[in-house]
A and B are shown apart, each in its own frame.
Chain A
Amino acid sequence: MSTRRPGSRLQTPTPAEPKANGSDGQQQRNSVYLGPNDRLVGQLFIEGDLRVSGKVEGQLEATGDIEIAGAGTVSGTVTAYNRLVVGGGASLIGGDVRVARLQIDDGATFSGHVSMGKAAIEASRPVMAEPAPPPAPEPEPTPVEVTPVVIDTEPAAKKGRRR
């Protein structure tokens, strides 16, 4: 009767790992956990690790590890710069998977295209893209022509001031 708080039960299983960052600072990697009752539709980029035992439809990307655990279900693109683990009761369906390391436990449901190795991941990194190719937008010839015009007017003005 008195326990009518709807959220009280659900919060219990969630390990409050992110709070460990407060003491250790930036040494500890960020970790995000989507519990069994959590659901995500869309895109998620995490600088750190990601653990999913809920339901995800969309794109997941993490700079660390991604683990689909418990009865977690992910349908969509998954990119882990380090390791992807799909647990025994979990499922990953239908998307492009780009990872450095991959572990799939027996009993997992898995389908999709897998690309492994550093080359596969670097190709998918938009953040680290180096702006080497754009040398075109440099309008150098125009200021060269303007400069002599300015020089012609300046001495005239200076002479006027001196007199």
Chain B
Amino acid sequence: MDVQEAVAEGTASVDNGEVKHDARKQFQMGPGDILEGKLIYDGSIRADGRVEGEVRVTGNIDVANGANIKALLEGANVTLKGQVEGAVTARDKLTLGRNARLSGDITVRRLQIDDGATLNGHVRMGDFEHQASGQ
């Protein structure tokens, strides 16, 4: 649980529309924001509010507590604290927080589920290289 705080710390401010590859970009949503459609993003996203569609990022996905996601998610480290409906792929690690509710199939390299989380779906660990990893 303490690990996730490090991710949240990095959300400070990325105001430049275009950042160099070296700096991790952060796509930051608030609780009142809505995203519909398909997002392919070179960086990390903190998803909050409502998201519908498909989100593929090169960095991490952090779904905030109280968020309502109905989307396909793919990222390196995926941390869920809210409610998610849809397939989730974590190229490294998927973490379900104690308030997370996930219904959908998941493909991960590492998996951590905290007591209190709800999961309904199929879990696959390991080989997911056939998917477009990266972009």
Residues of A within 8 A of B (CB): 83, 85, 101-117, 120
A117 and B119 CA atoms in complex are apart in Å by 9
Among B111, B117, B120, which residue has its beta carbon within 8 angstroms of that of A108? B111
A105 and B121 CA atoms in complex are apart in Å by 18
- B77-135 contacts to A, CB under 8 A, are 93, 110-126
Among B112, B118, B123, which residue has its beta carbon within 8 angstroms of that of A111? B123
Check A103–B114 contact: CB distance below 8 A. yes
From DSSP, what is the main secondary structure of chain A's interface residues? Answer: strand
A113 and B122 CA atoms in complex are apart in Å by 4
Among B115, B120, B123, B124, which residue has its beta carbon within 8 angstroms of that of A83? B115
Give B112 Cβ to nearest chain A Cβ, in Å: 4
Known: A83-B115, A103-B113, A111-B126. 12 other contacts (CB 8 A): A102-B113, A102-B115, A103-B115, A104-B112, A104-B113, A106-B110, A108-B112, A110-B111, A111-B123, A112-B122, A114-B119, A117-B118
A112 and B113 CA atoms in complex are apart in Å by 14
With a CB–CB cut-off of 8 A, which chain A residues contact B112? 104-106, 108
Among B110, B115, B116, B118, which residue has its beta carbon within 8 angstroms of that of A107? B110
> Would A110 and B120 be within 8 Å (CB), given that A102-B113, A104-B112 are in contact?
no
Check A110–B115 contact: CB distance below 8 A. no
Give A93 Cβ to nearest chain B Cβ, in Å: 9
Check A117–B110 contact: CB distance below 8 A. no
Check B115–A109 contact: CB distance below 8 A. no
A106 and B90 CA atoms in complex are apart in Å by 14
With a CB–CB cut-off of 8 A, which chain A residues contact B122? 112-114
Check B120–A117 contact: CB distance below 8 A. yes
With a CB–CB cut-off of 8 A, which chain A residues contact B121? 113-114
A83 and B118 CA atoms in complex are apart in Å by 12
What residue in chain B is nearest A101 (Cβ atoms)? B115
> Would A111 and B93 be within 8 Å (CB), given that A104-B113, A117-B118 are in contact?
no
A157 and B111 CA atoms in complex are apart in Å by 84
A80 and B58 CA atoms in complex are apart in Å by 37
Check B93–A114 contact: CB distance below 8 A. no
Closest 8 CB pairs of A and B: A104-B113, A106-B112, A103-B115, A113-B122, A111-B125, A114-B119, A116-B118, A111-B123
With a CB–CB cut-off of 8 A, which chain A residues contact B110? 106-107
A104 and B113 CA atoms in complex are apart in Å by 5
A108 and B125 CA atoms in complex are apart in Å by 10
Check A110–B123 contact: CB distance below 8 A. yes
A129 and B71 CA atoms in complex are apart in Å by 37
Check B125–A110 contact: CB distance below 8 A. yes
Give B53 Cβ to nearest chain A Cβ, in Å: 24
